[in-house]
Amino acid sequence: MSNPRPKLKATLRTQTTPDTKFYVDFEWWEKSDLDIKTYLYSRLPIEEDETSMDLERELIDLVDMQTGQVRQVDGFQYIVQAYFRQMPKDFLRTTSMVDAAFCTLLANANEPMSAQELADVLERPVDIVLKTLGGPRIYQGIRPVFE
């Protein structure tokens, strides 16, 4: 008696390219067992005193200098964004690629950046950025944007 193997359909996975944009998916953080604020406090050199003010409840207006569009962010997000914009360049070279990409995206107000843009900022090969961030595993909520 023969027992044929079932035929499985190949899953279609969209391929990432150097032009694929990435962003931090905050919903991923909400669904995971991790808390983004705790992660930032524990893994990165942010002083808790800097964010202990009532800024977490306050909304701050941010102006996009290119479009003039105003959007509101909570105080914690504002502090994180401002902090990462002031990070020394050597931090991005000496930390893990995932941490460096995460910090870069947050410094960029989580505006999607292409793999090539991330590679240029991180001074890492674009193929490494794509293999790491474009693979099946999601690191720190960093996901590709597929239209």
Per-residue pLDDT at 2: 57
pTM score, two decimals?
Answer: 0.75
Longest dimension (CA), the chain: 73
- How far apart (Å, rounded) are the C-alpha atoms in residues 46 and 114? 27
- How far apart (Å, rounded) are the C-alpha atoms in residues 124 and 76? 29
Per-residue pLDDT at 55: 53
Per-residue pLDDT at 109: 84
Per-residue pLDDT at 13: 47
Residues in contact with 75: Cβ distance below 8 Å, sequence separation at least 6, in sequence order: 51, 53, 54, 55, 56, 57, 58, 59, 60
Per-residue pLDDT at 75: 77
**pLDDT tens digit at each of 147 positions of the chain:** 555 555 544 443 468 999 999 999 989 998 998 888 888 877 666 665 554 545 556 788 877 777 888 888 777 777 778 788 888 878 888 889 999 999 999 988 889 999 999 999 999 999 999 999 998 899 999 999 987
Structure tokens at 34: 């991790």
Per-residue pLDDT at 17: 93
